[in-house]
Amino acid sequence: MAQPLMTVQQHILEEQRRRAPQASGEFSWLLSGITLATKIIADRVRRAGLADILGSAGQQNVQGEVVQKLDVLANQALLHCLGVRGNVAIMASEENAEPIVVARDRAHGKHVVVFDPLDGSSNIDVNVSVGTIFSILRCEPDPTGTRDPMKDVLQPGANQVAAGYVVYGSSTMFVYTAGNGVNGFTLDPQIGAYVISHPNIRMPRQGSIYSVNEANADSFPEGYRRYLAHLRSGAAGRTYSSRYIGSLVADFHRTLLKGGVFLYPPTKTHPQGKLRLMYEANPIAFLAEEAGGLATDGARRIRDIQPTSLHQRTPLVVGSPAEMELLESVVSSQ
């Protein structure tokens, strides 16, 4: 007999019953808001070439990046679906300069949700996989509404209670962790639900793929250049292939499933790194660690970094233990 379908909502509720039977269900209700928003985004992405939503929206975000029309739609979907949950006190997005306080729920809301609504959106015009990344943190209710929301948002990644991403590719996949392993769900368009397809994902101890924008290699710090040369030469004990998509979700999704390493080192033009700590590096690091991998900024564990601003940037190296241990050895050597 075929196994019964397990949807992401059923999985979340089952985990809640198993790990926290006394829980109120607020957390699963919050996650259902994210899954609803990503179904809306997935629909827009599939129809992007037919509905005049490709291309630039004619403005820049706080990072100075060109905003795509789909960025705007994705951001609106998440803000709406999370803003009506009733238990989200604060939302923070790549597309907004400041955190958004949900005034109605600030007094009782216990969660902060930080997200990149459409990672890799500059690739949408050429039909490359894009994604949504999210991170969930706890906060104390603020009955008076006087506490600075930044104090609730700027928490280190170690404080995350859940994180995940959705990749919009040949299929739409929702991958998340709540601190008890990593599970992946594929959207079944016939029933409109995310169904478990990749239970208990474990990153291989060693892979055979490295992922980096080698066009910038000349401006990488010397230690990173030595590391890449080490991988290319076969000195690591195996032959590596280079694969780089330019969409963080897609590159990390491959690394999560196949192993290896993804690197976005500091460069001369971005000495502090280019990826955002709060809504890109932290959730990716949480997922990697829960799957048995590692994530650093080249020197420190990503999740130990105390953020100082919402849009803070960081270098990011994430991957299998073997490649990460080799990185530490090569970069630290003289």
Which pLDDT tens digit goes with each residue over 85-94?
A: 888 999 999 9
DSSP of 256-316, one letter per residue?
A: HHH--EEEE---SS-TT-SEEIIIIIHHHHHHHHHTT-EEESSSSBGGG---SSTT-EE-E
Residue-wise pLDDT for 259-314, tens only, equals 999 999 999 999 999 999 999 999 999 999 999 999 999 999 999 999 999 999 99
pLDDT digits (tens, 9 = 90+) for 46-103: 876 655 555 454 555 556 555 678 889 999 999 999 999 888 999 999 999 999 999 8
What class, spelled out in words, does domain 8-198 have in CATH?
alpha beta
Q: Are 160 and 307 in contact (CB under 8 A)?
A: no
Give the architecture-level CATH label for domain 209-332: 3-Layer(aba) Sandwich (3.40)
Q: Side chain identity at 53, as an amino acid letter? A: I
Provide the pLDDT for residue 49. 60
**What pLDDT sits at residue 274?**
95
- 180-214 burial, b at 16+ Cβ within 10 Å, e below that, comes to eebbbbbbeeeeebbbbeeeebebbebbbbbbbee
pLDDT of residue 57: 47
pTM beyond 0.85: yes
Domain with CATH 3.40.190.80 in the chain: 209-332
* Average of per-residue pLDDT values in the chain: 90
Kindly report, as residue ranges, where domains of CATH 3.30.540.10 are found in the chain: 8-198
